[in-house]
Structure 1
Amino acid sequence: MDDRQLKKLVLYYSLEGNTEFIAENIADKINADILKLKPEKEISTHGFMRYFWGGKQVVFKEKPKLFPFDKNPDDYDVIFIGTPVWAGTYAPAFNTFFDTIKLKDKYIALFCCYSGKSSSTFENMRKKLEGNQILGEIGFKDPLKYDKEQNANKVRQWAENIISKIKK
């Protein structure tokens, strides 16, 4: 399959802009559509309590109500999925996504942004994405804080390599 015929989507959630920065660089490099998961009720990005409320959502496996999607992930061949790391795993918006959308037979690439480490994020996402071909994963430590240009170049090269892995 010619990579120009592949329908590509970058699907992500971002609270503070790090994951959005990475997602936009991927979409720009591989000419992909973007779908941002948007909870109807978002936690504050300021103050220590964001860690408390975010951690609580993770621990209790909460499924925040999301605004309707403007794109259907089932319509795409290749999906790049990105999340910030919250309490060692993916953000709660993905609990809702994985519960409502059952992706199958897709080419998937995973990315995350973190302040500490990626922990079990990719492992947990892989479990939710069984039945798909995972082509790669990459993590970024605070990409807006540490050398934005270098991180942009790194993810653009990675995205291009992911697309090149798909058999023509």
Structure 2
Amino acid sequence: MKQPIVSARHFSRRNFLKYAVAGTLAAHAAAFANVTTAWSADAKGGNMLILYFSHSGNTRKVAEQIHGSIGGDMLELKTVVPYPQDYDSVVDQAQREQKNNARPRIATEIPNLEKYDVIFIGFPNWWGSMPMPFFTLLEKYDVGDRTIIPFCTHEGSRFGRSEQDLRRLCPRARLLKGFETRGSRAAGAQKSVDAWLRGLGLLTG
């Protein structure tokens, strides 16, 4: 699992986090650049949604950094029953939810989804993927062919299999290159976030 798993003393419990992240083929680099150039001019400000789930606050910090650099609307995904604050309890609950393929009830609604062309999806890596509330949300709301940009905090697992899960949950969406950082480094990730946004054509200067 990932956040709020940031303490070194818990690292042995997170050996399951060692998932490889598939790299982007170099042959697609030019095509990707052309795509980002085409949509980036219109993908700023009011038609962007930064949707995130954060338990310990690290993913929230990255969401705030994205928002501070390029604007857009921010929305936090919350569950009807909050997750426990105790580390071991939240680890165990997240594992049970994943094993049971659970769909936790969510309190967050997106009443104006049609407003957005670009949706950032941010999450801590829990047991190799997104927390299960995102499965609830993305099965409830059809994002269609919108542009999806993931960002993830972790303590060694990177994206795990979350990008594959996003493709499965949003089969018609255009999934762009995501951003990942260790949760323990999230507070100081602004420069890396900005470099990523520049690579997507969303930030200049």
Cα deviation for residue 42 of structure 1 reads 1.4
Contact 2:62-2:187 within 8 A present in 1 as well: no
Contact 1:35 1:71 in 2 (8 A): no
Say whether residues 1:136 and 2:177 are aligned partners: yes
Where structure 1 has 5 or more consecutive residues not aligned to the other structure, the ranges are: none
8 Å CA contact retained: 1:66, 1:96 = yes
Residue in structure 2 matched with residue 156 of structure 1 by the alignment: 194
The answer on 1:82 being equivalent to 2:122 is yes
Letter in 1 for 2:107: F
* Structure (1 or 2) with the larger CA radius of gyration: 2
Q: In 1, are the aligned partners of 2:58 and 2:187 still within 8 Å (CA)?
A: no
TM-score (structure 1 length as normaliser) = 0.86
Q: CA deviation at 1:74?
A: 2.9
Change (3 A) 1:164 1:30: closer
Take 2:91 and 2:144, find their aligned partners in 1: how far apart are those partners?
Answer: 33
Matched, 1:28 2:68: yes
Q: How many residues align?
A: 162
Q: Is the 8 A contact 1:23 1:82 kept in 2?
A: yes
State the TM-score, normalizing by the size of structure 2.
Answer: 0.72
> How much does 1:94 deviate?
0.6
> In the TM superposition, what is the alpha-carbon distance from 1:113 to its structure 2 partner?
0.9
2:83 equivalent to 1:63 = no
Question: Which of 7, 12, 26 is matched with 2:52 structurally?
Answer: 12
Deviation at 1:76, TM superposition (A): 0.1
Tell me how far apart the structure 2 counterparts of residues 125 and 106 of structure 1 sit (CA, whole Å). 13
Following TM superposition, by how much is the alpha carbon of 1:71 offset from its aligned partner in structure 2, in angstroms? 4.7
The whole-number CA distance in structure 2 between the counterparts of 1:11 and 1:147 is: 17
The structural deviation recorded for 1:162 is: 2.1
Q: Deviation string for 1:28-49 (max 9, x for gaps)? A: 2111101111101011122312
User: Residue deviations 1:30-87, cap 9 Å, x none?
Assistant: 1110111110101112231211111111221211111142553332011111111111
Residue 125 of structure 1 aligns with which residue? 166
Q: CA deviation at 1:160?
A: 3.7
- Of 121, 143, 146, the residue aligned with 2:185 is 146
Cα root mean square deviation, aligned: 2.1
Structure 2: state its 5+ residue gaps.
1-38
Q: Contact 1:78–1:107 at 8 Å: present in 2 too? A: yes
Higher strand residue share: 1
Distance, in Å, in 1 between the alignment partners of 2:202 and 2:87 is 42
